[in-house]
Structure 1
Amino acid sequence: MVSIKDVAAAAGVSAATVSRVLNDHPSVSTATRTRVLSAVEDLGYRPNAVARSLRTDQTRTLGLVISDVLNPYFTELARSVEGAARALGYSVIIGNADEQPELQDHHMRTLLDRRVDGLLISPTDGCSSLMRDAAQAGTPLVFVDRWIEGMDVPVVRSDGRAAVHDLVAHLHALGHRRLAIIAGPAATTTGRERIEAFREALAAYGLSLPDAYIGQGDFQAASGRRVTEGFLGLPEPPEVVFATDNLMALGALDAVRAHGLSVPDDIALVAFDDIPWFVHTDPPITAIAQPTGELGRAAVRALVDRIEGRTPQSVTLPARLVVRRSCGNPPATQRSQS
């Protein structure tokens, strides 16, 4: 294995000079820096990450705490974050909160103990004292997908309001008037935002949202099944179920099939958060797609900016409606666009 002494010998300098070059110390001349970096490349030298962290007080490691690793949306987000971080010379350690605030805090504490340079967090439920203490202590933090209102932390997220309005317009054009929603936890910003957008869109078309057509879920498949069972037991069941995440949509689909019903002939189904599986269901499921890859990359850039002393800005990207056949055959104009 090539050592720093080998690089120093090849470049004709001391090991201390090589160290200064690798740590971007300003005292090294341009000629010496060029000679050292050339030796590094020729020999294929790779600095020891742990040793570098002791010298620079950086570990070149980011922490990512996601809400649920079993949710395909967060799996794709984590993949995007890892790729973007690697391209910038950082590694990523992932913690799965499993939608549990106490597990979220456990992972945060563990990552901070391991001296990660910064944290990307998709909060599960409100703001813990640990999260607030970390922010106040100056720990580089970026919220991704979800956020905590009132905290001075950059947020990278998508805005689904326009897509929800497009969804209701699509459903209205198909003749659907009784629309129900499986909402996410009210303690999460995404849970609140999606039901608010749905109410606004319904009102724009003169439609109401009765209490009986509001089901409280928890972004898990079991809650989608439970809520949909309740909808199907109503004297006048809804014509459409809008599940505000993909796992609850799959749970809703299970409930519909368990009742011997079909989508969309007996009831229509739509999901927030598109996933690759939805094109393989029968019928393919209409969904609101978030730009997951872009969100992950933007979140990493924001966090690295924060770590390296720059001032990152919050980023909001638009979600979009993907029309398939789970709500009925779309009008010809929509078919041509999708």
Structure 2
Amino acid sequence: MAGIKDVAARARVSVATVSRVLNGHPAVRPGTRERVRAAIDELGYRPNGVARSLRTDHTSTLGLVVSDVLNPFFTALARAVEDEARAHGYSVVFGNADEQSALQDHHVRTLLERRIDGLLVSPTADSASLVTEVAGSGVPMVFVDRWIAGCPQVPVVRTDGRAAIAALVDHLHRLGHRRLAVITGPATTTTGNERAEAFLGALAAHGLPAPAHYREEGDFQAGSGRRATARFLDLPEPPEAIFATDNLMALGAMDEIRARGLRVPDDVALAAFDDIPWFLHTDPPVTAIAQPTEALGHGAVRALIDLIEGRPAASLTLTADLVPRRSCGE
């Protein structure tokens, strides 16, 4: 297997320059950076040599890579991870992928180079080649919130939100709403697919229609929530309620509703997956599905430490809860 010296020789640079490229150092010239990246791709280099050393050289440091630190759910998750890690004598090095697979790979490489003891990842997509490769290299790893189906050897600490989504649809139905629209997450994410399928299944259980024009794929960002809501509201027969499968998309939806001079819930009801403190202070407060974020973070850290210390670690599935508020009509 190629090593960092082989990459340096192929790219005609020093080992230090290769290391700077791997760590995203801004001082490397663009042409040099491209040459090093080309050498890495040609040789198939991965920092597995460092990864293998993690089994014997402990640094009492965990790596955490989340999909988007600006999402309040992941901010709270990171806090829970840090609190639990500190309680066990570990520190946490953090990376924000910003929902970009390339940036996620960068953080994973950097964390391995820094000789972390284990890695917590909330993948940006359900097929991440570098994360999959690292998972098979012996690095202690746990998926939290999202996961990659092709890595069955990696424990997953997650929330099953299907029952809460069914409860939401039942809640909307009891309030008299029949035309229900959904803003889904990216189809490349496990959580995006699970929440969309649960919503459509709940509609079918109530005999409610699920036309394609009441579904829009977002990207877990506020802008996509606003764009999806604009399309829904421009329909000849707009939906009576909108379910955004993440909190930022729900805030974007609320922005678009208000920008049109409409009111929640008088003109359109609104609900979200992932409860956040902000939802208590919006007008009206937003009905949301709450994940046990603190328990997720704590459980993920405990599972990872089990792996680091040579013990088996099982996956953990927690349950989400519906938190009804006035945004749906009550």
TM-score class normalised by the smaller sequence:
0.7 to 0.9
Q: Secondary structure of the equivalent of 1:218? A: coil
Query: Which blocks of at least 5 consecutive residues in structure 2 are unaligned?
Result: 1-52
Distance, in Å, in 2 between the alignment partners of 1:320 and 1:259 is 31
In the alignment, which residue of structure 2 is the partner of 1:182?
183
Residue 224 of structure 1 contacts residue 248 of structure 1 at CA under 8 Å; is this kept in 2? yes
In 2, Cα distance between equivalents of 1:157 and 1:291: 9
Q: CA deviation at 1:327?
A: 0.5
Letter of the aligned partner of 2:208 in structure 1? L
Task: Write the letter of the residue equivalent to 2:84.
Answer: A
**C-alpha separation in 2, matches of 1:129 and 1:239:** 41
CA apart distance, 1:127: 2.6
Paired letter, 1:136: G
What residue in structure 2 maps to residue 46 of structure 1?
A: none
- Residue 74, structure 1, aligned to residue 74, structure 2: yes
Cα distance in structure 1, aligned partners of 2:127 and 2:179: 36
Correspondence 1:208-247 to 2 at 5 A: 208-247=209-248
Equivalent residue runs for 1:126-137 within 5 Å: 126-137=126-137
* CA deviation map 1:225-267 (0-9, x unaligned): 0000000000000000000000000000000001100000000
**What is aligned with 1:91?**
91
Deviations 1:95-148 (A, max 9, x none): 000000000000000000000000000000133222122111100000000000
Aligned to 1:250: 251
| One-letter code aligned to 2:195 | R
Aligned partners of 1:199 and 1:208 also within 8 Å: no
What is aligned with 1:150? 150
Q: Which runs of 4+ in 1 moved over 3 A?
A: none
Partner of 2:264: 263
* Residue equivalent to 1:318: 319
**CA deviation after TM superposition for structure 1 residue 91, in Å:** 0.2
Aligned mates of 1:117, 1:100 — CA distance in 2: 24
Cα deviation for residue 160 of structure 1 reads 0.3
- Secondary structure of 1:265's aligned partner: coil
Indicate the residue corresponding to 2:117 in structure 1: 117
| TM-score using structure 1 length | 0.81
Which residue of the partner structure matches residue 41 of structure 2?
A: none
Report the Cα offset of residue 83 of structure 1: 0.2
Worse-superposed segment, 188-197 or 126-135: 126-135
Match of 2:295 in 1: 294
User: Which stretch has the larger CA shift, 130-139 or 303-312?
Assistant: 130-139
- Native 8 Å contact 2:168 2:322 kept in 1: yes
Percent sequence identity over aligned pairs: 70
Q: Secondary structure in 2 aligned to 1:298?
A: helix
CA distance in 1, matches of 2:274, 2:133: 32
Structure 1: segments with no counterpart, 5+ residues: 1-52, 330-338
2:208 is matched with: 207
Q: Secondary structure at the match of 2:238?
A: coil
Aligned to 1:197: 198
1:17 — aligned with what?
A: none
Q: Output one character per residue of 1:268-307: Cα deviation in whole Å (capped at 9) or x when no partner.
A: 0000000001010000000000000000000000000000
Specify the SS of the correspondent of 1:143.
strand
Task: Check the 8 A contact 2:128/2:148 in 1, yes or no.
Answer: no
Residues paired across the two proteins, number: 276
**Which amino acid is the alignment partner of residue 87 of structure 1?**
A
One-letter code of the match for 1:305? D
Work out the CA distance in 2 between the residues paired with 1:162 and 1:136: 33
The letter for the 2-side match of 1:143 is: F
The residue that corresponds to 1:43 in the other structure is none
What is the identity, as a one-letter code, of the residue corresponding to 2:105? D
Q: What amino acid is aligned across from residue 62 of structure 2 in structure 1?
A: L
Greater mean alpha carbon deviation, residues 144-153 or residues 72-81: 144-153
CA distance in 1, matches of 2:169, 2:64: 34
Secondary structure (helix, strand or coil) at the match of 2:327 reads coil
The CA deviation string for residues 20-63 of structure 1, in whole angstroms up to 9 with x for no partner, is: xxxxxxxxxxxxxxxxxxxxxxxxxxxxxxxxx99x61010000
User: What is the RMSD of the two structures over their aligned residues, measured on CA atoms?
Assistant: 1.1
